[in-house]
Amino acid sequence: MSVDLVAVERRLWSGRATFVSAKTTEGQIGIMPGHEPLLGQLVEGGIVNIVPVDGERIVAAVHGGFFSVTAGTVRILAESADFAGEVDVDEARKVLADDSASEEELRAAQGRVRAVEQVANA
């Protein structure tokens, strides 16, 4: 299936994949080729996993947005997104320790830390 991971500021990844998972407001969802069409809202501070047809698994921290599935495509349209390998874990942990951080900043930092930990534990 064709997959696009796009954030407001950039396209992160586009290609063919055998599996995509994301956490929506309705819960964790996994998509394989041939899945029924659907539209879901991504959670704030969530993680998206993509298993490309060839290559290593892609893990990204996403913050808000939508997850759209049609007959042969998956589109992840996030407000913001970072590949796990791009995350500054120390900076994200500073935000988590900051009592003055907003709820939105805390959720985004939590997602970034979770994405890095998921790659480290794989």
Give all domains of the chain, ordered by start, each with its CATH number.
1-122 (2.60.15.10)
**Gap between the Cα atoms of 113 and 92, Å rounded:** 7
Q: Tell me: the pLDDT tens digits for 67-81?
A: 999 989 999 999 999
Q: Tell me: the pLDDT tens digits for 1-25?
A: 999 999 998 999 999 999 999 999 9
**Residue 122 pLDDT more than 70?**
no
Q: What is the pLDDT of residue 83?
A: 95
55 pLDDT band (50/70/90 cuts)?
confident
Q: What is the pLDDT of residue 119?
A: 84
